[in-house]
Amino acid sequence: MRILIATGGAPHSHATLRLGGYIAQATGAAVTVLTVVKNAAMHAQAEAILAWAKSQLPAGVEVQTIVRAGQPAEQIVLVCRETDQDLLILGERVHSRLPKRILAPTVERVLERMPCPVLLARGQLRPPKRILVCEGGRDPSVLNRLMGRLMQLLESAETITVLHVMSEMAAGPGVEDWELRADAEALMKEHTPVGKLLEGDLALMPQLRVHLEVKVRHGLVVAEILEEARSGDYDLLIIGAHRGSRWERFLLDDLAQEIIDHADRPVLVV
């Protein structure tokens, strides 16, 4: 597993490096730390930033460093693709105490292009032992996509909860009224589309070798996901993105964007 941590040396980079260190220690991942400067004349400044960043990572973590000059988002995406990273970790500047977050331009541009799964370091940071995976019903499932690149991250957890929110507003065609009130067990017993999705995720348990549970909540999707994340005190919230039909890039739908805007803990976008 390969992790890229992008840092400019600003205070919010502490969170990025701390979370990256937790994950690297738990998974044995190799870490690359990247800093992007405006031009080649700032190389000495970049090297100082990278030396500081390496000092913030735990002893024993394998670390490489890269300096690039140019526009930060473009260079971050380019390095991710060139070095075939499995996970990119970004930090956020704290703009205000408003309930809705305002993503920095660099973070927003990187998320639009999604070169690999992107983890936003925020809130109270801990080793990701309790993970909440939010399933929206797309195929392949978010959990399946995670297993393709981030199996070591999943196996380092103690519990993984797969959540689907049954919402009248978000329900697809053909969903019956009883399904909007049913729990996970009932949906799986009747082999509804959501039930089959949850069954498929549960079938992955032997491969994961970690405690895996499925859960259904009812109501507004974003509100229920955020409440589950808070009440369950999860260390990491995972959501899915999807490819647009006209552009070769990942696009965040409105629900994913709302979750990112309001979540108070690390969010991994897959």
Tens of pLDDT, residues 234-254: 999 999 986 544 333 344 567
The SS3 call for residue 17 is helix
Alpha carbons 57 and 59: distance in angstroms, whole number: 7
Residue 186 has pLDDT above 80, yes or no: yes
Which alpha helices (DSSP H) does the chain contain, by range?
Answer: 13-27, 43-56, 72-82, 105-113, 142-149, 151-155, 184-189, 193-202, 205-208, 221-231, 254-262
Tokens read off for 147:
């297993």
**Residue, of 129 and 43, whose pLDDT is higher:** 129
Domains delineated in the chain: 2-121 (3.40.50.620), 130-269 (3.40.50.620)
Q: Parallel, antiparallel, or unpaired: how do β-strands 63-69 and 159-166 relate?
A: unpaired
Among 4-18, 36-50, 69-83, 204-218, the least confident range? 4-18
pLDDT at 103: 66
Residue 100 has pLDDT above 60, yes or no: no
pLDDT at 250: 42
Task: Record the pTM.
Answer: 0.91
**How confident is the model over 65-85, as pLDDT tens digits?**
999 999 999 999 999 999 999
Alpha carbons 147 and 153: distance in angstroms, whole number: 9
